[in-house]
Structures are given as C-alpha cells and as structure tokens.
Structure 1
Amino acid sequence: MRQLNTADLRALRQQLDTMKRQVLDELRATAPSARAAWAEGVHEVKTHADEAEAERAADVYLAEIEVDRARLEEIERSIARLTSGRYGICEDCDREIPRARLLAQPTATRCTACQAAAEAHRQH
C-alpha cells in the first residue's frame, strides 16, 4: 500500500462506509416491497397470467436482493482488507493495485491484469 497515503486510506474508508450504508438502505427498502407483494398475492384468486406476473415480480425482487447482498459482501471484504493491511494488494498476484484503480473502484481486489484474466476465464 505504498502508493496510498493516510488521507487516501481515510477517504477510501469513508467511501466504503458510504457504499455500505447505501446498500443497506436499498436492502431495507426492498424487503417491505417484497413482503407486501407476496402477502397481496396470497389472498387473491388469480388467473394463470396473474400468477405468472406475480412470480416474475418475485423473481425480480429476489434478484435485486441478491445483487445488493453480493455488493454488501464485497464492500465488507474490502473494509476487512483495509483493517488487516491487505487492502490495495492484488489477491491473485500479490502486487499493489494502482492507486487510481482503488480510488475509482474502492472494492477492487485485483489489479487490472488479473481482473481481466479472471473475467476472461469466467466467459469460457
């Protein structure tokens, strides 16, 4: 983490904390909507089209919740890495992640080259 100074680390921690609060707010906002949609659907007589639409809406809510949950986990891992002193070190090659990349993507755990390789591997 030689490329990150104390001010950078403080700013990154603040940014991660803000991101975490935003995701938690999104999860809190999504949960009542999902419960209300489910409860509404339980008490109504429906056609097959209504049931299909309700199922589609439930799938969308679940997908949104899963995306937010994954983002929260990523943010929490970054905060843990910051606390342990591993923040800014590529988890694949152990080289420093460039400062500009961390400032642009505070949850980055890989350098650009290793991230590109991981994404290429996932596509195959």
Structure 2
Amino acid sequence: MKVGRGAADAIRSVHGKDYTVGTSPDVLYANSGSSQDWARMQGIPLTYTFELRDGGTFGFELPQDQIQPTCEEAYSGALHIITYAHDKTFSGATATTAATLWSILLALGVTSTTLM
C-alpha cells in the first residue's frame, strides 16, 4: 500500500488526477488467473495493476485529448514503483557492485567500439 500510495502521489503530481489505491478486489472486483497471479507463482514479490484514466465514462476508448496525459501519469507512477523495486533489490553493497560492474562493461564497450 505504501508503494501504491507513492505511485498515486507521483501520478497526481503530473496533472492533478487522483487515482484510487487498494487491492484489486477492494477497488475493482475479485478476479483470478490474472498476470498478478502468474507473477506471484513465479516468485515475483511485487505486482501492481493500473486502471488508467476515465472512471467509466468512455470505457477503454479514451478521447484523443486524454491519451497523452494518461501516458504521462502512468509513466510517473510506474517509474515510482520501478525505483522502489530497484532500490529495495539493489541496496548497499549490491548497488555499488552492480554500478561498478556496469561502469566497467560500459568502458569496455566504448573502448572496443572506439578501437575498431
């Protein structure tokens, strides 16, 4: 819920649009066999569902003027979630090691490309 509320805050900061945060059954409807179920079965600990703009007026056919703002909001919310998952996974020494490894690989790639 903490990460979901953070994503909703990130979304709100883009165009002021409020998104509801909660579990899928509480906010939408009970369901099974979703991609969230599959991800959990694969051991993926964090799964999120976005129901984008509208609220029921247009269904899944947003007016053209809402497409770009919806993409910008979704990007901001997804970026918040991705950043959280990254920081939770690659914290401390692991992050330093990963950054060092990527720096070395990048330097090798640039060097080998430059020499050719």
TM-score (norm 2): 0.40
TM-score (norm 1): 0.38
